[in-house]
Structure 1
Amino acid sequence: MRKKAVIFDMDGLMFDTETLGYQAQGELAEEMDLPIAFDFDYYLKQVGRSDKDVMPELASDFGDAELAERFLKRMKERQTGIASEKGLPIKKGLYDLLAFLKEEGVICVVASSSRRKEVSFYLELADISQYFRYQVCGDEVSFAKPNPEIFLSAWKPLGIPKEDCLILEDSLNGIRAAYDAGIEVIMVPDLIVPDDEAKAKTIAILPDLHAVMDWLKEK
């Protein structure tokens, strides 16, 4: 394969944490008697975004910034609690893809909108931390996806041309960020159905990470 490095998103790409987040939000919305309806469409608006990016909207919707901050903190705790208790849903093909990339000598990096605390927790829970040279997390950059900062921050230390790098994403915000960073991106859809923009800004849309491995083997 011709790529020398692969940058992985995390939520919705490596793990089905989006479903865990939706479950956690629904439970807490009821427990905390929140003033808005947390339906699936509302949750989708948060996918691929950092806590810092989402917080102003939650504060506006709740009419209470302190309540929004408390809710988001408890949601993350509930989400990781569900993963610890019931197991972390691993996306199809993740382990095979990581093993293949290691054998090929390809550098793997994580660029996630989640905070480092959550990124470290999930990577360790899945026992895959050793596959990644480093991680760039949502609480370590100034601007959230779709701003390209997080991907540029993940790419720059590699010291390789952008054309030797590949990004794997599941969200439209992530695809926009990758595209604006000038790095090729493959979409592996999770909750977001690929639209015309996604098709135009990706080099491939594949059903799972095993298909990504097969695609790379052909290059």
Structure 2
Amino acid sequence: MKAVLFDMDGILIDTEKYLTVYKQKAMREAGYRLDLETAYKFRSCASVFAREQMKGIFGEDFPYDELRRRRQELMSDHIARFGIEKKPYVEETIKELKRRGYQTAVVTATAEDRAVRYLEMVGFKELFDEIISASMVKLGKPRPDVYLYACEKIGRKPEECMAVEDSPNGVNAAYQAGCHVTMVPDLTPADEEVKKMADHVVPDLRGLLEYLK
């Protein structure tokens, strides 16, 4: 193992719960009801896939792009008011990985400009060798494109990389790319399907360090 690739929302910063809350709020404003179980299925899911699936649930007239923009507005307002919460053990984990000689990168479904801004806000940006966004590839998670591109950028084969993910869509993307996968569950536990794809499941980032020993 030569490199560790980190998802951002739900792994490095505690934003996944707010993405869900404000997605539900945006839909309520438009007269739609999105239950939590359904909302969780779209974590880290690229818009090209989420749009199609949500239209299948709510009908062809479902205004996906309009509601996505509204969710982004609500999320931006929240961050402007309250800032961004860090997930536990991030800094000490990354610094220890660097001490051991691992390359580190962020591989996120969030757009590049927002990802960079969020990581700068919490002081994490300089911890990583690369910041890779799904906006840099044709298809985002759960397709493997963003992980394959990240491996290319850091000059490593997928089998030399450990991906750290919190959602089934993220785990699926990394697994399809040929990376090893550690899941650190955030909003939902690992189900049996996820466990088949992940090398192991740990409660927090300290478990990653133990595994890599």
TM-score, structure 1 as length reference: 0.87
Contact 2:46 2:142 in 1 (8 A): no
Match of 1:16 in 2: 14
In the TM superposition, residue 189 of structure 1 has moved relative to its aligned partner by 0.6
Q: Cα deviations across residues 152-174 of structure 1 (Å, max 9, x unaligned)?
A: 00001222333321110111122
Contact 1:50 1:114 in 2 (8 A): no
Separation in 2, partners of 1:198, 1:27: 28
Work out whether 1:211 is the aligned partner of 2:204.
no
Q: Cα deviations across residues 52-80 of structure 1 (Å, max 9, x unaligned)?
A: 33233445526436x32121112112113
Separation in 2, partners of 1:100, 1:83: 29
Match of 2:78 in 1: 82
- Which residue identity does 2:168 align to in structure 1? L
Q: Find the residue that maps to 1:12 and give its secondary structure.
A: coil
> Identity of paired residues, percent?
28
- Which residue identity does 2:188 align to in structure 1? I
Work out whether 1:188 is the aligned partner of 2:184.
yes
Separation in 1, partners of 2:181, 2:74: 31
1:64-143 matches, cutoff 5 A: 64=61, 67-143=63-139
Separation in 1, partners of 2:166, 2:39: 15
- Which residue identity does 2:17 align to in structure 1? T
| Structure 1 counterpart of 2:5, from 4, 7, 15 | 7
Q: Find the residue that maps to 2:186 and give its secondary structure.
A: coil
In the TM superposition, residue 81 of structure 1 has moved relative to its aligned partner by 2.4
Consecutive unaligned residues in structure 2, runs of 5 or more: none
- Which residue identity does 2:9 align to in structure 1? D
Separation in 2, partners of 1:163, 1:191: 27
Q: Cα deviations across residues 29-68 of structure 1 (Å, max 9, x unaligned)?
A: 33x333x212212211211212333233445526436x32
Consecutive unaligned residues in structure 1, runs of 5 or more: none
Poorly superposed stretches of 4+, deviation over 4 Å: none
1:157-172 matches, cutoff 5 A: 157-172=153-168
In the TM superposition, residue 118 of structure 1 has moved relative to its aligned partner by 2.2
Q: Cα deviations across residues 163-207 of structure 1 (Å, max 9, x unaligned)?
A: 321110111122122122111111111123212222222211000
- Which residue identity does 2:8 align to in structure 1? M
CA RMSD of aligned residues (A): 1.9
Work out whether 1:150 is the aligned partner of 2:150.
no
- Which residue identity does 2:110 align to in structure 1? S
